[in-house]
């Protein structure tokens, strides 16, 4: 996708972190913006910092884990701007616990926001994007957690691995269909955002996660520190995404130091070796 000006971007999880920086970059490129987030107040405040005229902006409170709300978002976006050219399925939450301490509610919350959201995004936007003459591009935010199996993050890992294979499958199918729609997969490592405060967005119906203790608490603390000390910023992620979209490049893996860990996992698989612990 080469042309952004006067085209329309839909970005989920746009009230904070990487989503907000994607929105900032899309605004700078002259796009119309449809911004969605579960946190309406924070979304309003974030959008106000973009300095966009009202006619180029649509804000919609959306819980992306709910199909009806993603469908409503698509309806609103196409009705308002007549097309959607850049779809960023970006909203996400994290939860750190050892696998045997994750409750069903924990799994459902994380898989809902991190995996079902992307499924619903593809279901409700791509068929309509296929009908537009201008084509478009889908950006799915996964994580290096979608390429590795970091301890303490089973629900997140499962969701993000799901986003990787969903995106790879979608890419192949769109090529087979000779569709004018690109796909990019963003897999960041640690980026200082509000991801470690994800519990703020856990709906009441799931109850609270049990407090982390022992190994879960140690992993949680390590995660917190890793996110806070991330060297690359959310702005860097947005810039990498836009470069990839312009180049029609699929894999966006900004933290290149992670390559060794990816290679190690692949070597373990190819050599039928037991998984090398990641720490
Ligand atoms: N920060 C990192 O280190 C990191 C690393 C790898 C991948 N990611 C991924 O990047 C994406 C963005 O996260 P971030 O780091 O900017 O975190 P963030 O918490 O700053 O932003 C996430 C946004 O998603 C929104 N959100 C949460 N639940 C939602 C729901 N049900 N419906 C709609 N919106 C919802 C939040 O309100 C928030 O605005 C996520 O998919 C995350 O998994 C982040």
Q: Name the DSSP class of 227.
A: H
Burial of 163 (0-12, 13-18, 19+ CB in 10 A): buried
Phi, psi torsion values for 14, nearest 5 degrees: -85, 0
d(CA 232, CA 133): 36
d(CA 14, CA 42): 9
Pocket of ligand 1 (CB under 6 A): 12-13, 15-19, 37-39, 62-65, 90-93, 113, 141, 143, 188, 190-191, 193-195, 198, 201, 227, 230, 234
Mean pLDDT of the chain: 97
Q: Identify the CATH number of the domain defined by range 8-270.
A: 3.40.50.720
Residue entry with tokens 């889908």:
138
> Distance from the CA of 235 to the center of ligand 1, in angstroms?
14
CA distances from 214 to 55, 187, 193 (A): 52, 29, 25
Tens of pLDDT, residue by residue over 182-223, are 999 999 999 999 999 999 999 999 999 999 999 999 999 999
Q: Are 13 and 35 in contact (CB under 8 A)?
A: no
Closest residue (by CA) to atom 32 of ligand 1? 63
Which pLDDT belongs to residue 57?
Answer: 98
Domain boundaries, the chain: 8-270
Residue entry with tokens 């995004």:
121
Which pLDDT belongs to residue 58?
Answer: 98
> Distance from the CA of 150 to the center of ligand 1, in angstroms?
18
pTM to 2 decimals? 0.98
> Distance from the CA of 90 to the center of ligand 1, in angstroms?
7
Which pLDDT belongs to residue 228?
Answer: 96
Ranges of residues in the chain whose predicted pLDDT is under 70: 279
Q: Are 117 and 90 in contact (CB under 8 A)?
A: no
Residue 78 CB contacts under 8 Å (≥ 6 apart), including other chains: 84, 128
Closest residue (by CA) to atom 41 of ligand 1? 92
Q: Are 186 and 241 in contact (CB under 8 A)?
A: yes
Residue 12 CB contacts under 8 Å (≥ 6 apart), including other chains: 19, 36, 37, 62, 64, 73, 88, 89, 90, 91, 117, 121
Active site residue 219: no
């Amino acid at each position: 996708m080469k042309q952004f000006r006067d085209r329309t971007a839909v970005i989920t999880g746009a009230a904070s972190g990487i989503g907000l920086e994607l929105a900032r970059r899309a605004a700078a490129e002259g796009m119309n913006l449809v911004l969605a987030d579960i946190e309406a107040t924070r979304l309003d405040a974030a959008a106000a910092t973009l300095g966009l005229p009202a006619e180029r902006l649509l804000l919609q409170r959306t819980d992306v884990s709910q199909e009806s709300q993603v469908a409503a978002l698509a309806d609103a976006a196409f009705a308002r701007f007549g097309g959607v050219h850049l779809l960023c399925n970006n909203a996400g939450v994290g939860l750190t616990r050892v696998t045997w301490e994750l409750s069903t509610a924990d799994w459902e919350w994380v898989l809902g926001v991190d995996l079902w959201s992307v499924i619903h995004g593809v279901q409700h936007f791509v068929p309509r994007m296929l009908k537009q003459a201008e084509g478009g591009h889908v950006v799915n935010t996964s994580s290096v957690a979608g390429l590795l199996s970091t301890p303490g993050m089973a629900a997140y890992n499962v969701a993000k691995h799901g986003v990787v294979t969903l995106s790879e499958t979608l890419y192949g199918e769109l090529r087979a269909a000779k569709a004018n729609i690109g796909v990019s997969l963003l897999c960041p490592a640690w980026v200082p955002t509000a991801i470690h405060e994800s519990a703020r967005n856990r709906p009441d119906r799931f109850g609270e996660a049990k407090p982390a203790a022992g190994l879960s608490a140690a992993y949680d603390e390590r995660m917190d520190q890793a996110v806070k000390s991330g060297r690359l910023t959310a702005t860097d992620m947005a810039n990498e995404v836009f470069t990839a979209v312009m180049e029609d490049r699929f894999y966006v893996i900004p933290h290149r130091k992670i390559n060794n860990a990816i290679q190690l996992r692949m070597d373990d698989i190819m050599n039928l070796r037991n998984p090398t612990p990641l720490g």
